[in-house]
Amino acid sequence: MKRISRRKVLTTSAAAFTAPVIIPSSALGLGGKTAPSNRISVGLIGLGLINGGHRGWCLNNQNIQILAVCDVDRKRREDKQKEIEGRYAKDKASGTYKGCAAYNEYEKVVERDDIDAVFVTTPDHWHAPISVAAMRNKKDVYVEKPMTLTIEEGKIMRQVCEQYGRVLQVGTQQRSNFAFRKAAEIVRNGWIGNIHTIHAGLGSFALPSTYGETPIPDGFDYDRWLGPTPWYPYHIERVKGNYGGGWRRFWEYGSRKNGDWGAHHFDIIQWALDKDNSGPTEFTPKGYQGAEYQSHKYEGGPLVVRDHPERNGHMIHFIGTEGTVSVSRGNRIECSRPELVNEPLGEKDIRLYQSDDHRRDWLNAIHTRQPTIANVNVGHRTATICQVAGIAERLNRPIMWDPEKETIVDDPQAARWTDRPRRAPYVLM
């Protein structure tokens, strides 16, 4: 039988596979040793807070080698380069590892022929440009949530991913958790009746202040950090990575809490309602005509209310005609009928895609060329909810959305916000 090289497998279109392929645990780096020639070579782009977990996972996975890091902060990238090469010191000494390069420009990572896949863990405004460039250079992509900054970016990413046959996973890791999957299966199978209301807790950010200009630190490429977004004077508060604020507070770089926790919770709601290829039709911002909470509504379906206090102490609270189910991180799940939590699925019940490790699911998909649990279309549809909700908030009026045509309905001003101008030379090609 003719042998097929790993590189050949990694560049084969997903369309060539018609059935799932079972990959041995040893091939996924789950035990034993993997030959260096069979390892997936990865680059890490964006080395801030969220990258720490990904970096540690890669370093502890026998099936992966990190060949490059990229960040606009010179000290940060050089520190991570040293950390990685220190972990691979034995491999480097034996000649099976050629070292970790450190770059300021992501283009130098994605253009390398010896890199198979990349983690894109930058601020939101860089997700689409880097992911698109990586996929066009035949790289598979793990991109943090929300997948994109704008709706049009999501359409481009979906088209490029399909055109180049790439594997993409969005970092909405709640899909790879038992409790969230079980809650979604309870809802999907109608065990608590017809769902009419869903409460999701996102929290809030304080609006950023007007910051004065301060000196740009030595070794920090601020122009590239801003990238396609408008130019503003440098201030640490604008660029700071902080889960409680930092750059996440600015509309220029994301969708605020809608793109932060909304990207997680709205994603689970989409999954539970079987709306991964669709979405809500009406978005109402908090404060409009006295509205106490932000909300969006599915045609003929439930109303999703942001930050309603009646959530049974959970992140997401589904309310049906025959009961409720509430779910949170930490594998917390509660049902008004407690027995449903441990009720096994019947032969005819709907079984959702099962993943218990989000990054492992991506790695498995790289080998099999099958779609991931949070693939490009899933990521696009969830990000669209975050973005339309943000448009409604900024314009302070309801927005009608056509999920089939993927357009804003009868509102030309709002429709202009489905994309944003890009500062030269950082265009999305």
Residue 399: burial class (beta carbons within 10 Å; 0-12, 13-18, 19+): buried
SS3 334: strand
- Residue 331 pLDDT grade (very low, low, confident, very high; cuts 50, 70, 90): very high
What DSSP character marks residue 208? Answer: P
Report d(CA 247, CA 259) in Å as an integer: 12
Report d(CA 278, CA 188) in Å as an integer: 15
* pLDDT above 80 for 9: no
pLDDT in tens, 110-167: 999 999 999 999 999 999 999 999 999 999 999 999 999 999 999 999 999 999 999 9
pLDDT of residue 35: 57
Angle, helices 262-272/178-188, rounded to nearest 10 degrees: 40
Q: The whole model's pTM is what? A: 0.92
* pLDDT above 70 for 22: no
pLDDT in tens, 347-388: 999 999 999 999 999 999 999 999 999 999 999 999 999 999
Angle, helices 151-164/127-136, rounded to nearest 10 degrees: 10
* Count of H-run helices and E-run strands, the chain: 15, 15
32 φ, ψ to 5°?
70, -165
- Residue 33 pLDDT grade (very low, low, confident, very high; cuts 50, 70, 90): low
SS3 297: strand
Residue 169's nearest CA partner among 150, 151, 145, 143 is: 143
pLDDT in tens, 378-409: 999 999 999 999 999 999 999 999 999 999 99
Residue 370: burial class (beta carbons within 10 Å; 0-12, 13-18, 19+): middle
Q: What structural domains does the chain harbor?
A: 6-174 (3.40.50.720)
pLDDT of residue 209: 86
Residue 170's nearest CA partner among 372, 326, 420 is: 372
pLDDT of residue 368: 97
